[in-house]
Amino acid sequence: MIRIGIDLGGTKIEAIAIDPAGTIIDRRRIPAPQTYPGSLAAISGLVQAIEDEHGGACPVGIGHPGSISPETGLMRNANSTWLNGQPFAQDIEAALGRPVRLANDADCFTLSEAVDGAGQGAAIVFGIILGTGVGGGIAIEGKLLRGAQGIAGEWGHNPLPWPKQSDQPATACWCGQSSCHETWLSGPGLARDHASRNGGTLGAAEIFAAATGGDAAARHSVALHGDRLARGIASVLNIIDADVVVLGGGVSNAPGLAQRAAAGLPGYLFSDTIRTRIVTHSHGDSSGVRGAAWLWPAEAP
């Protein structure tokens, strides 16, 4: 059975078709329309083009920003703001004329890595997105944990635990709270923290590169980032005790990030032994769209 996955991003929409083994057999990308009707039409067009190529209707899964309220059925908290307040699930099913499975993009990343990526075979996988923002998802036995509010794994807007003097002053987050993981662990968060001590306008990638090159100030900022990441992960592991933590997003590609986080865990995890593996993604930028396709399991019609 061929499955179609859609990654609905803010600047692009990507569509793939995967075969039963998870091999990508078709891939298409288009610029994302910055309107709600345009997004619906673009997704419909991509699905139609793939189905025309591969011979008929296929199950469709969609990864999207934000989440869909289980109370109202409306999209919320999407940085693609034209989606917010819209009955996206209802409208895309009407446009395609069939049931569609949907999940947050971080959940799709987690599912992809749990099914046949860096977390394959693990009972509990915690997937982390570290990029312009911070998000996460939880997969148990290869299936997403959704939660009563549909927000399971959204650790990006939990406060950084075990605060230290170096975490001051508290930083306001767009969500209305302060000192969320996103304000410290995202790319912009690292850049802001580094600039607060050293000035300048270095981005996260430049800070990591400078640290690798031996710059003392950059190395200090990277060490602080690693300690904060370890604290954030430990606070999650103390609750769900995941077998594997998979890091994704642009920041996850920084050299040694997983190793720094793992090295910091013993200081915070409530355990005398640490078996959890912290690893970097297997599927890179394709994880989200692959996870959308895997929203339909192998036994789906």
pLDDT at 122: 98
pLDDT at 262: 98
DSSP string computed for 185-249: HSHHHHHHHHHHHH-S---HHHHHHHHHTT-HHHHHHHHHHHHHHHHHHHHHHHHH--SEEEEES
pLDDT at 55: 82
Written in H, E and C, the secondary structure of 37-89 is HHHHHHHHHHHHHHHHHHCCCCCEEEEECCEECCCCCCEECCCCHHHCCCCHH
Asked if residues 10 and 32 have their Cβ atoms less than 8 Å apart, the reply is yes
State pTM to two decimals. Answer: 0.92
One digit per residue, the tens of pLDDT, for the chain of length 301 reads: 899 999 998 889 999 999 988 899 999 999 999 999 999 999 999 999 999 999 888 999 999 999 999 999 999 988 889 999 999 999 999 999 999 999 999 999 999 999 999 999 999 999 999 998 899 999 999 999 999 998 999 999 999 999 999 999 999 998 899 999 999 999 999 999 999 999 999 999 999 999 999 999 999 999 999 999 999 999 999 999 999 999 999 999 999 999 999 999 999 999 999 999 999 999 988 899 999 999 997 654 4
pLDDT at 298: 61
Fold of 119-281: Nucleotidyltransferase; domain 5 (3.30.420)
pLDDT at 128: 96
Give me the residue label for tokens 């800070």. 207
Neighbours of 238 (CB within 10 A): 13
In whole angstroms, give the CA distance from residue 224 to residue 208.
12
Instruction: Tell me which amino acid residue 118 is.
Output: A
Give me the residue label for tokens 């509010």. 149
Fold of 3-107+286-293: Nucleotidyltransferase; domain 5 (3.30.420)
Neighbours of 282 (CB within 10 A): 17
pLDDT at 1: 82
In whole angstroms, give the CA distance from residue 15 to residue 135.
22
Fold agreement (3-107+286-293, 119-281): yes
Q: Which two tokens stand for residue 161?
A: 């635990």
Domain boundaries, the chain: 3-107+286-293, 119-281
